[in-house]
Structure 1
C-alpha cells in the first residue's frame, strides 16, 4: 500500500503570500502537477505505520516506504500550550519572535511568510487574545534526498530572465507565475497525529485584563489549565466576558464526529474528552515541513540549477517584501438549512467580520465560517474576504431536511454581483460543492 505522505513529499508550495493556519488549506494548495524532488517508488521496504488509510479506522497499516523516505514512529508525544496576550500587538510580536509559538502554524520552514500569516488573524489593539493548542504526534515522515531535483523544471527556469536588483514589473510577474505553478518551497516532511487549536478574542473593555486568562480557562471548563475554578462564575466581569467572547476552533485527527461537533461550536467536556480519547489511534496530517526551492537547487547535480538558485531566492525575497495592498471583497452567505459552512481553499486569503453581530451559533476561523441550528431556517451571514485580488477557490456545505423526507437545504454565496448556489444533495450528509478560480 502506498504511503499517504507521498501525496505531499517532494511537491511544491507557493509561500510568497502567507502560511495557512489550517492544515487542510495548506494541503489543498500543494502543487501536485509538478514533482520537484524525485522519489523512486520501485526501491522500497515494507513498514508498519500508525497512519489510518480510512477515516475512523483504528490501527496500523503496512506501507511501501521508498528508500529515500524515513518514517519515525518513536516520536510519540502529547503537548499542550496556553498563551494569553493583552492586545493584538503583543500577540503579533510574540508570534514573530517566539519560536515556541511556531507550532500554531500549519507549515514550518518559511519565516518570510510569518508576517503575512499573522496579519491574516486580523489581530487588533482593542482586543485581548488567548491561544490554546493540544498537539499529539504519532509519526514523522521525512524526505532524505532533497537535493535530487527533478530536472523537468530546468526548461521553465531557463526561460526565466535573470532577476535584477530593481526588476521591472514584467519580470516580477514571470517569477510570480513560476511560483504559482511550481511553488517557492518543497514539502520535505509531514507530521501525523492530532491537533486541537482554540483562539479566543474579547474586547479589552469587556474583561479585567488581570483575570482574562482565568476567564478563558473557566469558559472552557478548565481545559487550558487543566482545572476549573467555579468561584469565577459569580464574577461580574466574567458574565460580561462571556457576552463578548468570540472563539474559533480547528481540529485535525481523532474520531470524525466529536471533531465536527467541536468545530461547529458544540464544545463540552464530554465531547472534548471523547475526541481526546481517540487521538492516538486515529492520527491525521497535522503539519508540513518545507525547504526553500533555491536551497535544494544549490545542492543539485545540475550546474544550471545551482547557478539559477540565486535568481529564485532573490525573486522570492523581493515578492515577500513588496506585497501589494490587500483587496477586500464583501460577501453574503444566504442559506436555508439547519447548518452551513463556507471554507476558503486559497492560502493567501482570509476572512474578516462584516457585521457587529452574527447569527447565534456562528463560528469563524480565518478561512472558514460554520453556522449550526437545531431546525431548518433562513440565515444571512455577512463577511469580508481579504486577499491580493487574485481569483479564489472555496467550497460550501449544507444540511438537508431528512427529518421531513424532503431534499431541501441550500447555501448560496453572493459576491461581486454573482451568485454561487449549492443545492446539491450528495448522499453523505455533507453536501459539499467546490467553486474554483472565482
Structure 2
C-alpha cells in the first residue's frame, strides 16, 4: 500500500501566496506540475503504522513522533505582538499553523498579522509519526529546474515589471519552498482574529473567545453570561475564525467543523483519536534556493542567490489588488467569511437592509427567521493579489426550495447549496483567484519593520472613501431597504 506522505513530500509551495493556517488550505496550494524532489517510489521497505504495513520509499525516513496528547491556548492583543512571538519562538508556528519552516517562512506568512487585529489560538494534538526526505539535495530534479531558470531574465531587476512578473510566474509554477517533512496524527486547531479598536471588546476578548467556542480552549469552563453583554454581538460580527480538525472520528470531526462550540462534541472527538488512523496534520518546508545550493549542479548553486533575491523583493514590495465580489442570496440568511487574515472586505456602494459588513465577513438576513429573501450584495476584497480562502454559509430553506448562496469573483462563481446540518450549512473554498490588475497605489516611502504588507494595506485603506452610513465600531450595517422578499412556508 502506498505510503500517504508520498502525496506531499518533494512538491513545492509558493509561500508568497499561501495562507498557512489550515492544513486543508495549504494542501490546495501545492504546486504539482513536477515533483522537484524526486525519488524512486518503488525502491521501498516495509513499515507498519496505524496497523497497516506500508511500502515506504527508502528515500523517506520515518520516526515515531511524540505519542502524547497536548493542548495549548494563547491570545495576543495585536498582530504585532503575535508576529513578535512567532518570530522568536519557532514552536508556535508548529503548534498553530498548517505549514512551518525557518525564518523565510515566518517572514512570508507574517503578512497575516495585521497590527489592527487581535488573535487567539488553541491547539489540541496527538502526533503519530514524522516522515522526512533524506539527503534531499541529491533528490533535486536538476534538468527541468535549470531549464525553467534559464528562461528567466539572467539578472533580477526589481524596477522592471516584466522581470518581476516572470519570477512571480516561476514561483507560482514551482514554488518558493519544497515540502521536506510531513507530520501525521490527530489535530484540532482553533484560530480567531478580529479588530482591536474597541477597548470594551479588547478587555473581554479572552472571555468572549472561550464562550464563542463553548469552553473548548479552556477545558469546558467559560462564562455563559458574557453572551448577554451588549458588546458580544459586535464581537461576533468582527471576529473571524479558521478552524480545522484532522484525525479522530470523521463524523464527529465534521460536526465540529460546522459548529465548533460544543465541548461535549470536542471531548467525544478527542476520545476517538487513538482508534482511528492518523491524518495529515502539518507540513515542513525548505527554501528552494537552499536545496539548489545543496544540489550537484554548479549552475543551480550559482542561481540560488538570484532566486532568493527575487523572493525577498516580491515579499517586501507588495502590490494592492481590489476585487469586486457579489454575494447572491436565496434564503433567510447567508454569510460570506474571509479566512485569509491578510485580506480585508470593503463595502460596495449599496448595502441592502439586513446586511452587516465587517473587514472579515458579509452577513445578510437573520438566522432561523424563516423570512426568505432574494438579494445581491456588492462588496470588495482587498489583498496583495494572492488567492484567498473563504467560506459561504446559508439557511436551510428559501421559499419552496432549499437555501442557497453563492459569490461571483474574478469571473468565476462559487456556490453553496448544500444542506449539511440545518444550522450553518458551511462550505469552504480555498485558493480562489482574485482580480489580476493591481491598483495604481504604491507607498511613497518604505515603512520600516518586518511586515511590509501591513504598512502598505494600512496606507491604502486610508485613501478609500467609505460612503457615510450607520456603523457599529468597524462594522457597517445596511441602510438601503432594497431587499426582495419571497413568500415561503415556515420551516
- TM-score of the two chains, using structure 2 as the length reference: 0.70
1:334 aligns with 2:324: no
Contact residue 244 and residue 257 of structure 2 kept, 8 A: yes
Q: Which moved more, 1:184-193 or 1:256-265?
A: 256-265
Contact residue 397 and residue 433 of structure 1 kept, 8 A: no
Find the aligned partners of 1:359 and 1:284 in 2 and give their Cα distance.
Answer: 41
Find the aligned partners of 2:212 and 2:396 in 1 and give their Cα distance.
Answer: 32
Q: Cα distance, 1:86 vs. partner? A: 3.2
Q: Cα distance, 1:21 vs. partner? A: 1.5
1:243 aligns with 2:233: yes
Q: Which moved more, 1:372-381 or 1:326-335?
A: 372-381
Structure 1 unaligned segments of length 5 or more: list them.
Answer: 51-59
1:9 aligns with 2:9: yes
Q: 1:35 to 1:159 in 2, by over 3 A?
A: same
Find the aligned partners of 2:85 and 2:287 in 1 and give their Cα distance.
Answer: 24
Q: Counterparts in 2 of 1:129-168, with a 5 A limit?
A: 129-147=119-137, 148-151=139-142, 152-164=144-156, 168=160
Find the aligned partners of 1:366 and 1:283 in 2 and give their Cα distance.
Answer: 32
SS in 2 for 1:295: helix
Q: Counterparts in 2 of 1:273-288, with a 5 A limit?
A: 273-280=267-274, 281-288=276-283
1:306 to 301, 304, 321: 301
Find the aligned partners of 1:267 and 1:423 in 2 and give their Cα distance.
Answer: 22
Q: Counterparts in 2 of 1:312-391, with a 5 A limit?
A: 312-324=307-319, 326-336=320-330, 350=343, 352=345, 354=347, 377-378=372-373, 384-389=380-385
Q: 1:304 to 1:266 in 2, by over 3 A?
A: closer
Cα RMSD between the aligned structures? 4.4
Q: Counterparts in 2 of 1:169-248, with a 5 A limit?
A: 169-193=161-185, 194-199=187-192, 201=194, 204-207=198-201, 209=203, 212-214=205-207, 216-217=209-210, 220-226=213-219, 228=221, 239-245=229-235, 246-248=239-241
1:90 to 81, 90, 95: 81
Q: 1:78 to 1:205 in 2, by over 3 A?
A: same
SS in 2 for 1:2: coil
SS in 2 for 1:6: helix
- TM-score of the two chains, using structure 1 as the length reference: 0.77
Q: 1:139 to 1:430 in 2, by over 3 A?
A: same
Q: 1:128 to 1:302 in 2, by over 3 A?
A: closer
Find the aligned partners of 1:430 and 1:302 in 2 and give their Cα distance.
Answer: 49
Q: Cα distance, 1:113 vs. partner? A: 4.6
Q: Cα distance, 1:366 vs. partner? A: 7.1
Q: Cα distance, 1:29 vs. partner? A: 1.1
Q: Cα distance, 1:49 vs. partner? A: 2.1
Contact residue 393 and residue 437 of structure 1 kept, 8 A: no
Contact residue 128 and residue 203 of structure 1 kept, 8 A: no
Contact residue 248 and residue 364 of structure 1 kept, 8 A: no
Q: Counterparts in 2 of 1:110-121, with a 5 A limit?
A: 110-115=102-107, 117-120=109-112
Q: Cα distance, 1:285 vs. partner? A: 1.6
Find the aligned partners of 1:33 and 1:391 in 2 and give their Cα distance.
Answer: 18
Q: Cα distance, 1:107 vs. partner? A: 1.3
Residue of structure 2 in register with 1:56 after alignment: none
Q: How many equivalent residue pairs?
A: 417
Q: Cα distance, 1:423 vs. partner? A: 7.4
Contact residue 249 and residue 263 of structure 1 kept, 8 A: no
Structure 2 unaligned segments of length 5 or more: list them.
Answer: 435-491
Residue of structure 1 in register with 2:486 after alignment: none
Q: 1:391 to 1:217 in 2, by over 3 A?
A: closer
Q: 1:96 to 1:370 in 2, by over 3 A?
A: farther
Instruction: String of CA shifts for 1:134-162, please: whole Å, max 9, x gaps.
Output: 23212211111311211222211222233
Q: Cα distance, 1:376 vs. partner? A: 8.9
Contact residue 333 and residue 394 of structure 2 kept, 8 A: yes
Instruction: String of CA shifts for 1:104-138, please: whole Å, max 9, x gaps.
Output: 222111533535534335441xx654322223212
SS in 2 for 1:15: coil
Find the aligned partners of 1:72 and 1:93 in 2 and give their Cα distance.
Answer: 31
Instruction: String of CA shifts for 1:251-284, please: whole Å, max 9, x gaps.
Output: 2213333333333335112122122222342432
Find the aligned partners of 1:76 and 1:359 in 2 and give their Cα distance.
Answer: 49
Find the aligned partners of 1:219 and 1:166 in 2 and give their Cα distance.
Answer: 45
SS in 2 for 1:329: strand
Residue of structure 2 in register with 1:99 after alignment: 90
Contact residue 157 and residue 164 of structure 2 kept, 8 A: no
Q: Counterparts in 2 of 1:3-42, with a 5 A limit?
A: 3-42=3-42
